[in-house]
Amino acid sequence: MPEQRSLTVNVNARFTVDAGSWQERVEEEQRPYRLVSPPQTTMYRQVLSYLEQTTRNEKVPPKSQLHFGEVAIATVALCIRWGSYFAVLTNRDLPQWAAAFDPEISCIGDGEMARINIEASAALSGWIDLMRADQPRFRKLVRAALRLLPFPIAQLDGSTYYHRFRAFSAFNSAHGRRYLLEAFARDFGSEWFERQKARVLVNPTRALANGILNEHWRNESGIEDVHAGTGPPLRDCLQASRRLVAG
């Protein structure tokens, strides 16, 4: 039975997240590979619990003290940077993989990208639900994430991103939403529209999270280039090194 080894990532000096475990395996063709298993408690839930426990005795910040930029940074830091397998690929405690800066090399395997997408979507869905259900708790956790979770961007211009969001999102008004849904039914047919509507209504928040990630993480960011190269050399993938630039 291959040895099962733990997979952990140090978030900061006081907190380490359990990212699962891995085993060395060999295919029938005698090619080595690693079988990675996720942790029992999702990385997002672990990080969320850490933020809550660390700030248990702190006061809730007034609503007026948060702006769009702060919420955006906290969301990405919690749901992607530290709350998904992305944290493993950017582990700052490991040496940088020599081929990581070669544009012809893919630094994320298809299975790894799939895991990040699934974990980040589930995390974002839970984060949105928390924002809707408990605003005081959400504001407190946003503040905690900004202070306790290392992130390469210190701040965003909240007004700029807020106005851009208002300008490009048709869902910010009842009229805009009605117009968009009518356009879908007209362009793709009422039967298609009803089928898609039924699928979305099973878990609308998860559908929203999937859409946000596909639009801004998977398809509209530099991660496309990092994932788009050819397959990396096999032995380098099995060595203990980080493949993405840590932030």
- CA–CA dist 154, 25 (Å, integer): 41
DSSP at 24: E
Check residue 177 and give its pLDDT: 75
Instruction: Please provide the DSSP assignment of 109-144 as one string.
Output: -HHHHHHHHHHHHHHHHHHHHHHHH-HHHHHHHHHH
Q: Whole-structure pTM over 0.95, yes or no? A: no
Check residue 40 and give its pLDDT: 95
- CA–CA dist 234, 106 (Å, integer): 12
Angle separating helix axes 135-148 and 68-76, nearest 10 degrees: 70
Check residue 115 and give its pLDDT: 93
Dihedral pair phi/psi, residue 22, rounded to 5°: -145, 155
pLDDT along the chain (247 residues), means of 10: 84 95 82 86 98 92 80 93 93 84 81 92 95 93 95 73 60 75 88 86 87 80 74 62 71
